Amino acid sequence: MQQRRFGKTNRNITEIGLGTWQLGTKWGEPFNHEEAMRILETTYETGINFIDTADIYNDGNSEKAIGEFIKKYPDYFYIVTKCGRGLRPHNEEGYTAQNMEKFIDGSLKRMGLERLDMVLLHCPPPSIYKNDELFAGMERIKKSGKIADYGVSIETVSEGLQAMEYPISAMEVIFNMFRLKPLEELFPVAKSKDVGIIARVPLASGLLTGKYTKDTKFGENDHRTYNRNGESFDKGETFSGVDYSLGLQAVEELKKLFGTDDLVPYALKWILMHDAVSTVIPGASRKEQVISNVRACEIPELSKSQMDGVTEIYNKYIRNSVHNLW
pLDDT tens figures, 35-86: 999 999 999 999 999 999 999 999 999 999 999 999 999 999 999 999 999 9
Geometric angle at alpha carbon 235, from 232 and 240, rounded to 5° = 135
Q: What percentage of residues in the chain have a pLDDT greater than 70? A: 99
| CA distance linking residue 179 with residue 313, whole number of Å | 12
Q: What pLDDT is recorded for position 11?
A: 97
Whether the predicted pLDDT of 31 surpasses 90? no
pLDDT, average across residues 11-36: 88
Nearest CA among 13, 51, 2, 5 for reference residue 194: 5
> Quick one: three-class SS letters along 108-125?
HHHHCCCCEEEEEEECCC
- The phi, psi pair for 116, rounded to 5°, reads -90, 135
Residues in contact with 192: Cβ distance below 8 Å, sequence separation at least 6, in sequence order? none
Nearest CA among 82, 108, 107 for reference residue 95: 82
| CA distance linking residue 132 with residue 211, whole number of Å | 45
pLDDT, average across residues 242-265: 97
Helix or strand (DSSP H, E) at 9: none
| CA dihedral sign of residues 56, 61, 64, 70 | negative
With contact defined as beta carbons under 8 Å apart, do 101 and 133 qualify?
no
pLDDT, average across residues 237-255: 96
| CA distance linking residue 325 with residue 10, whole number of Å | 33
- In eight-state DSSP terms, residue 316 is I
Q: How far is CA 292 from CA 18, 33, 168, 264, 268, in A?
A: 12, 21, 32, 7, 11
Whether the predicted pLDDT of 133 surpasses 90? yes
Query: How many of the other CB atoms lie within 10 Å of CB of 193?
Result: 15
Whether the predicted pLDDT of 221 surpasses 90? no
| CA distance linking residue 104 with residue 188, whole number of Å | 30
pLDDT, average across residues 164-187: 98
| CA distance linking residue 194 with residue 169, whole number of Å | 8
Least confident of 22-36, 184-198, 213-227: 22-36
Query: How many of the other CB atoms lie within 10 Å of CB of 200?
Result: 22
| CA distance linking residue 242 with residue 313, whole number of Å | 13
pLDDT, average across residues 93-97: 98
Whether the predicted pLDDT of 28 surpasses 80? no
pLDDT, average across residues 250-272: 98
Q: What pLDDT is recorded for position 194?
A: 98
Whether the predicted pLDDT of 24 surpasses 80? no
- Mean residue pLDDT of the chain comes to 96
